[in-house]
Chain A
Amino acid sequence: MGRKGRMGISHSSSVTLGAPTYIFRIFSVFNVSTQLNSTRVAREMVKLCVLIAAVSLLPILCLSFSPENPTDRRVLVLLDDLSLKSSHSIFFNSIKSRGFDVDFKLADDPKLSLQRYGQYLYDALILFSPSTDRFGGSLDLAGVLDFVDSGHDLVLAADESASDLIRNIATECGVDFDEDSSAIVIDHKSFAVSETEGDHTLIVSDDFIQSDVILGSTKVEAPVLYKGIAHSVNAANSLVLKVLSASPSAYSANPSSKLSNPPLHSGSAISLVSVVQARNNARIMITGSLDMFSNRLLRSGVQKAGDSNKYSKSGNEQFVTELSRWVFHERGHLKAVNLRHHKVGETDEPAIYRINDDLEFSVEIYEWSGKSWEPYVANDVQVQFYMMSPYVLKTLSTDQKGLYHTSFKVPDVYGVFQFKVEYQRLGYTGLSLSKQIPVRPFRHNEYERFIPTAFPYYGASFTTMAGFFIFSIVYLYNK
């Protein structure tokens, strides 16, 4: 929800910055026209004024009609070395071509700052600076974590030279890099075939997470080339997901020295690429290989050892592109709007329900496609009618156009209830809606009167009354 607020602010500020400059231009044109004092020129100027006014209004109109936009716009890339800009240009260009405003800076740039006057200057941060011990400017570990805590996205790539700072950032995100600084991932079975025998540190992996949301609907066919360090996900952190795991034969050790002790990290417990979706819907991607994004690996062919399939291009480009789409909220971002409820047969939302009322509940859920809000279709969205525990739990049915609805009976219990929609699905941003509604008991005059079932009892009561009357007369007048 923090994300929503932030986007709202950035829109309004760009409108207010834009308008005064246009107005100033219009006034300056008026000044020129009065000085020239010629009717023909004046007419031309009026036309120009109308044109400028229309043009100046255009962005304001466009902005005012554009829907809320959760995709990141401004990306800051921190590099150790500006040569990375050209060696990883395919990845950066794919981001730029998707409409992102990419800003490259050296990690030790003394003017480095993520925010100014309390406003963040960027929506996402890419840390391609594994060996940086200390960021320049005012940025530090806490600054990066605050950036994420306020709902912004982070891509972190390390390699064998990973500094303590980078390792600490990863640890704070629930990912532990191998503590042995000389160890890298080695795999003697699932390595990439090359002309030279090598030390089997350029490994291939195709053990992807099964999620269309995170990796896109088209399957990554070719395996991904990886050269870097291992990390494990913190078991206590339920928000971290392994997106790319190593093969069971992989282990993490120093390739140039003899293996004396069993490796700390081995097998498919090694995570090569992990993602985190925080509770504020900030997304983080962490990998131990900066080379995975490089042009060299993106362009190279791949053949897995012991496998006759030879792919002319590795799966890296598709993998990193699709993953960056997810991280930058171009996919899997849900919003729920128009939570409505009313009694069956009515349209207005009541301030209070009575026990045993029949009600209808509806909510609209949309998914951001990167350009527009598309209806979200699923059959597992549920609503709870909740007072300390759910009294009613109903699965909502959808009309395939984003509207989810159901109807149910208010339970025979009065108190302050809530309509709750808690929707957490792999890869999607979490939805957590609640709306409070009180439920009252029957009013005194709402109970049934003169129930046919009770007529014998009515009869008996009146009979005893009449009996009392007759008895009194008989008793008093017998003598």
Chain B
Amino acid sequence: MARSTSKDAQALFHSLRSAYVATPSSLKIIDIYVGFAVFTAIIQCGVVSVERGCEKELEITVREREISKKMRKVVYMAFVGSFPFNSFLSGVLSCVGTAVLAVCLRIQVNKENKEFKDLPPERAFADFVLCNLVLHLVIMNFLG
């Protein structure tokens, strides 16, 4: 059994990259879109976790708080809690839903997936748009 080295890892990344370069550009656009959705979701979840630390910090440095009271207030207000829980849920779920729908679209328009070779990409995109409309309609209603 061969020992894994950093060279093996490099070789792995290299082969992955070269394989990904061959991917059609339409799929790459979808990948970027999924990345954007996941990033937005992570920021929002981060807000909730950062908020705990923020509270602690506020207690510790009273002087600092006085200096940048106004700025901190805004930061605190923006970062505090999952209090309007419905808003938090709709914010995060809109990102999750977007990512899931985009992945579904990617599966359906990929030529290599034999399962969907009978499904025209136009039809797949139309489904994607319709699902997104429904998703955002629900999100807007739930946002409060």
Q: How far apart are the CA atoms of A447 and B87 in the complex, in Å?
A: 13
> Quick check: B125 and A475 within 8 Å, CB to CB?
yes
A453-B81, A461-B143 given; A471·B91 CB < 8 A: no
B102 neighbours in A (Cβ, 8 Å): 471
Residue B72 at the chain A interface, CB threshold 8 Å: no
Q: Which residue of A lies closest to B84 (CB)?
A: A454
> Is the pair B129, A472 in contact by a Cβ cutoff of 8 Å?
yes
- The interface bits of chain A over 442-454 (1 if a CB of B lies within 8 angstroms of the residue's CB, else 0) are 0000011101111
Does B84 lie within 8 Å of A453, measured CB to CB?
yes
Q: Kindly list chain B residues whose C-beta atoms are within 8 Å of the C-beta of A454.
A: 83-84, 87-88, 143-144
Give the Cβ gap from B31 to chain A, nearest Cβ, in Å. Answer: 11
Q: Complex: how many Å from CA A449 to CA B80?
A: 17
Q: Which A29-76 residues sit within 8 Å CB-CB of chain B? A: none
Contact status A456-B25, CB under 8 Å? no
Min CB gap B26→A, angstroms:
6
Contact (A460, B25) CB under 8 Å given A451-B87, A454-B88, A467-B33: no
User: How does the 8 Å CB contact mask read for B103-134 relative to A, with 1 for contact and 0 for none?
Assistant: 00000000000000000000001000100100
B33 with A453: CB separation less than 8 A: no
Interface residue? A210 (CB, 8 A): no
Is B47 within 8 A of A456, CB to CB?
Answer: yes
A423-476 contacts to B (CB < 8 Å) = 447-449, 451-461, 463-465, 467-468, 471-472, 474-476
- The A162-212 residues at the B interface (CB cut-off 8 A) are none
Number of A-B residue pairs, CB cutoff 8 Å, is 85
Bound-complex Cα distance A123 to B25 (A): 104
User: Is A478 engaged at the interface, CB distance under 8 Å to the other chain?
Assistant: yes
30 example contacts (A-B, Cβ-Cβ < 8 A) are as follows A447-B144, A451-B84, A451-B87, A452-B78, A453-B78, A453-B81, A454-B87, A454-B88, A454-B144, A456-B78, A457-B44, A457-B90, A457-B92, A458-B87, A460-B94, A461-B91, A461-B94, A461-B139, A461-B140, A464-B37, A464-B98, A464-B136, A467-B33, A467-B40, A471-B29, A471-B30, A472-B129, A474-B29, A475-B125, A478-B29
When C-beta atoms are compared, the residue in chain A nearest to B47 turns out to be: A456
Since A457-B88, A464-B136 are in contact, a sample of 13 more A-B pairs with Cβ atoms closer than 8 Å, ordered by chain A residue number, is A452-B77, A454-B83, A457-B84, A457-B90, A460-B91, A460-B92, A461-B90, A463-B40, A465-B136, A467-B40, A474-B29, A475-B29, A478-B26
B24's nearest neighbour on chain A, judged by CB, is A478
Q: Give Cα distance in the complex from A471 to B99, angstroms.
A: 12
Size category, B interface: 35 or more
B43 within 8 A of A: yes
Q: Are B92 and A455 within 8 A (Cβ)?
A: no
B94 to chain A, nearest CB (A): 5
Query: For residue A472, which residues in chain B have a CB less than 8 angstroms away from its CB?
Result: 129
Is the pair B77, A460 in contact by a Cβ cutoff of 8 Å?
A: no
By a CB distance below 8 angstroms, the chain A residues around B13 are: none
Whether B37 and A467, one on each chain, are in contact in the complex, defined by CB atoms closer than 8 angstroms, is yes
> Cα distance A458–B142 when bound, in Å?
11
Cβ-neighbour of B132 out of A453, A457, A468 (below 8 A):
A468
A471 touches B78 (CB 8 A): no
Tell me the complex Cα distance, A472–B88, Å.
26
Q: Are B129 and A453 in contact (CB under 8 A)?
A: no
Query: Roughly how many angstroms separate A463 CA and B80 CA in the complex, as a whole number?
Result: 20
With both chains docked as a complex, state the minimum distance between the C-beta of A473 and any C-beta of chain B, in angstroms: 11
List the B residue with the shortest CB-CB distance to A455: B78
* In the bound complex, CA of A472 to CA of B94 (Å): 16
CB closest chain-B residue, reference A476? B125
Question: CA of A456 to CA of B95 in the docked complex: distance in angstroms?
Answer: 13
B30 surroundings in chain A (CB, below 8 A): 471, 475
Cβ of A453 and Cβ of B43 under 8 Å apart?
A: no
Distance between B24 CB and nearest chain A CB, rounded to angstroms: 10
Other-chain contact of B83, A447, A453, A458 (Cβ < 8 Å)? A453
Task: List residues of chain B with CB within 8 A of the CB of A447.
Answer: 144
Option from B44, B79, B132 in Cβ contact (under 8 Å) with A460:
B44
Chain B residues lying within 8 Å of A452, measured Cβ to Cβ, are: 77-78
Give Cα A403–Cα B91 distance, bound, in whole angstroms.
54
Q: Which chain B residues lie closer than 8 Å to A478 at the CB level?
A: 25-26, 29
Task: List chain B residues, Cβ under 8 A from A463.
Answer: 40
Among B25, B44, B83, B144, chain A packs the most CB atoms within 10 A around the CB of B144
